[in-house]
Amino acid sequence: MKQVLRSIVPSVLAGLLCTASALAQQAAADAGPTRAQVQAEMRAAEASGETRALTGEDSGSAWLQARPAPAALSRAEVRRQVLEARRSGELGALSTEDSGSFYLARQGGAMPRPATGLAAAPR
């Protein structure tokens, strides 16, 4: 029995060490950007004026407004969704006199699906 343990223990220890090493390497790979990468991003943000804009008097709203957000949907897709919502009664359902309670009651209490892309459409 002693000889079996003497031959198994080193093998088990070697296996544990290999596993620990592999896990440590994986953790290092998943750690995120390096210090040099973060510093490079910071220099680029300073050069573009982004850091000054986001800490200025208006908290960056003017800077953000000058850079349009990419649209999630095309204009035609948004138009189709709006016309569909208008036909189904969903468009004005939550902004009418009863704040949508009648509409929600007819739907069984379920909220209407959000009209995706309406807020992301370019100006």
pLDDT over threshold 90, residue 38: yes
Burial 15-38 (b: 16+ CB within 10 A, else e): eeeeeeeeeeeeeeeeeeeeeeee
pLDDT at residue 4, rounded to an integer: 66
Dihedral of CA atoms 95, 97, 99, 103 in degrees, nearest 10, equals -90
Q: How does residue 121 score in pLDDT terms, banded at 50, 70 and 90?
A: very low
Q: What is the mean pLDDT of residues 56-75?
A: 78
More confident residue, 81 or 27: 81
Phi, psi values for residue 122, rounded to 5°: -65, 150
Distance between CA 62 and CA 19 in Å, rounded? 52
Q: What is the mean pLDDT of residues 25-30?
A: 70
Share of the chain above pLDDT 70, in %: 75
Distance between CA 108 and CA 101 in Å, rounded? 11
Q: To 5 degrees, how large is the angle CA 35–CA 40–CA 43?
A: 125
pLDDT over threshold 50, residue 95: yes
pLDDT at residue 123, rounded to an integer: 45
Window from 20-34, 76-90, 94-108, 109-123 with minimum mean pLDDT:
109-123
pLDDT at residue 42, rounded to an integer: 92
Q: To 5 degrees, how large is the angle CA 87–CA 89–CA 95?
A: 135
